[in-house]
Amino acid sequence: MKTDTARPRRGIGRTLAMFFTDRDRLEPALVTLLAAVFAVLSGIILIFIVSKSPVLSVKNFLLAPFLRSYNFYYLLIAMVPITFAGLALCIVYQARYLTLIVDSCVYMGAVVATVVGIYLPLPAGIHPAVAMLLSGLAGGLIGLLPAILRIKWRANELVSSLMLNYVFYFLGSCVIIYFLRDRKQSILASLPFLPTFALPKLVPNTQIHAGFIVAAVFVVLVSLLIYRTKWGFEIRLVGANPRFAQYAGLSVSAVVLYAHFISGFIGGVGGAVEMAGLYKAFIWQMDPSYAWDGVIVAMLARRNPKFVPVSAFFLAYLRVGADFMSRRGDVAFEFITMLQGLIILILASDRIVNYFKARRLKAAALRDERAARDAAGQIATQGAAEAGR
């Protein structure tokens, strides 16, 4: 006779109760919420300082993304590349590596997708899928470079990735200018994509495209990879304690390499999705700089891919609100950079969480010491009473 040894599943109410009573989970979430609220409030204060019509500017900043359906679709479109960048950085952050090579992965992924979109005729549906695959492979190979430099020559991956971003930006620009440029256009643009390259639109007469679904699928896949597979466990183990992982028989270098490859692959796919979903030709005249957006998203999500859509939505909301405010008011769009910097400063400092944790541990230690002293006193009293008898 078989017995059911499976653990009972917790209900939603019990899960929420455990979350709000578990301070180790609650405190980082509160710090994240504090960073988001503080950034918004700081933005409002700055608007009142610099704007001649602050009430109108604040209204545009806070409410414009939701006032019209077109504005909300614009917000959802802005979420897509930010989500890919956030997922890519969640993986390398799980391994405790700080690299910004995802910028190069996204940009070169877009360049590879441009080549596929122009010169490789394929049926609709298959065409963008092949572009995503090839762009992902290119991004994965680029993503390996900072890890190889770190493993081989102990080069700091943050510095090397920042330097490599310039190399690949100019390399991609060179490919567009000298091999793919449309000489008939007055602006710097590539030859037009084949019609079969475009991703289908989810809502007619809007720009919201099937890349939104692709991003959602990648959120699920990355979550399963990190928390439900052997490879994800190895990445988290190496990030938690690389020396212990090595003693356990893992090849730390191999784990770091495939973590960076997967991260770069996701970034490359993000670049291809952006090209196939929004553009008729490659017209990026500047580096899109999604790496820092990915840093904020990954930090807000606490390196958990399940929360990446929420943090990507928040960052896209700030950027879209700032965009509408700059168009309709007198506050420059660049003020959003200050808000992003504030978010990074708050989240990068663990002193807030560590302060409350240290206070809690100190109080627990004093409580245990007091309980032990009281128990010892009771034992001594009982011993004296028995000796008196």
Coil/strand/helix, residue 201? strand
* Amino acid 344: pLDDT: 78
> Does 384 fall in a domain?
no
Instruction: Give the pLDDT confidence score for residue 338 in this predicted structure.
Output: 81
Residue 191 falls within a domain, yes or no?
A: yes
Q: Per the domain annotation, does 254 fall within a domain?
A: yes
Question: Is 373 domain-assigned?
Answer: no
What is the predicted pLDDT for the residue at 347?
Answer: 73
Do 105 and 171 meet the contact criterion of CB atoms below 8 Å apart? no
Give 134-174 pLDDT, tens digit per residue: 999 999 999 999 999 999 999 999 999 999 999 999 999 99
Average pLDDT of 212-235? 96
3-state secondary structure of 51: coil
Assigned token pair, 172: 């991609």
Look at residue 6 and tell me if it is in a domain: no
User: Tens digit of pLDDT for each residue in 25-65?
Assistant: 666 677 777 778 888 888 899 899 888 889 999 999 999 99
Q: Which domain holds residue 318?
A: 24-365
Residue 235's pLDDT is: 96
> Does 199 fall in a domain?
yes
With 0-12 / 13-18 / 19 or more C-beta atoms within 10 angstroms meaning exposed / middle / buried, residue 366 is exposed
Indicate if the pLDDT at residue 3 is higher than 50.
no
Cβ atoms 82, 288 nearer than 8 A: no
pLDDT category, 262, cuts 50, 70, 90?
Answer: very high
Q: With b meaning 16 or more CB within 10 Å and e meaning fewer, what string describes 270-292?
A: bbbbbbbbbbebbebeebbebbb
Tokens matching residue 121 = 């005729």
Domain with residue 207: its CATH number is 1.10.3470
Q: How many percent of the chain have pLDDT more than 90?
A: 59
Q: Give pLDDT, residue 355.
A: 63
pLDDT score recorded for residue 178: 94
Q: Which residues pair with 190 in a beta bridge?
A: 181
- Identify whether 319 is part of a domain: yes
Of residues 137 and 387, more confidently modeled: 137
Task: Decide: pTM greater than 0.75.
Answer: yes
Give the pLDDT band of residue 357 (cuts 50, 70, 90).
Answer: low
Task: Answer for the pair 260, 99: CB distance below 8 angstroms, yes or no.
Answer: yes
pLDDT number for residue 16: 47
Confidence of residue 232 (pLDDT cuts 50, 70, 90): very high
Q: Is the pLDDT of residue 238 over 60?
A: yes
User: Which of 33-37, 79-83, 246-250, 364-368 tops mean pLDDT?
Assistant: 79-83
Q: Is 148 a member of any domain?
A: yes
C-alpha 302: how far from chain center: 9
Q: Is the model's pLDDT at 6 over the cut of 60?
A: no
Taking residues 99-123, what's their average pLDDT? 96
Backbone dihedral region of 304: left (phi > 0), alpha (psi from -120 to 50 degrees) or beta? beta
Q: How many domains does the chain have?
A: 1
> What's the mean per-residue pLDDT of the chain?
87
By C-alpha distance, which of 38, 81, 30, 9 is closest to 316? 81
Question: Does the pLDDT at position 19 exceed 50?
Answer: no
Write out pLDDT tens, residues 290-327: 988 999 999 889 899 999 999 999 999 999 999 989 88
Q: How far apart are CA 86 and CA 73, in angstroms?
A: 20
Residue 4's pLDDT is what?
A: 45
- Decide: helix, strand or coil at residue 209: strand
Three-state SS letters, 254-315 = HHHHHHHHHHHHHHHHHHHHHHHHHCCCCCCCCCCCCHHHHHHHHHHCCCCHHHHHHHHHHH
∠ at Cα 329 (326, 335), nearest 5°? 40
Kindly give the interhelix angle for 308-328 and 54-67, rounded to the nearest 10 degrees: 130
Contact 109, 139 (CB under 8 A): yes
Q: How far apart are CA 49 and CA 46, in angstroms?
A: 5
HSE value, Cβ hemisphere, 13 Å, CA-based, for 132: 21
Q: Give the pLDDT confidence of 175-217 residue by residue, as tens digits.
A: 999 999 999 988 889 999 999 999 999 998 889 999 999 999 9
β-bridge partners, 322: none
Mean pLDDT of 275-300: 90
Given a cut of 60, is residue 23 above it in pLDDT?
A: no
The three-point CA angle 241-247-251 to 5° equals 80
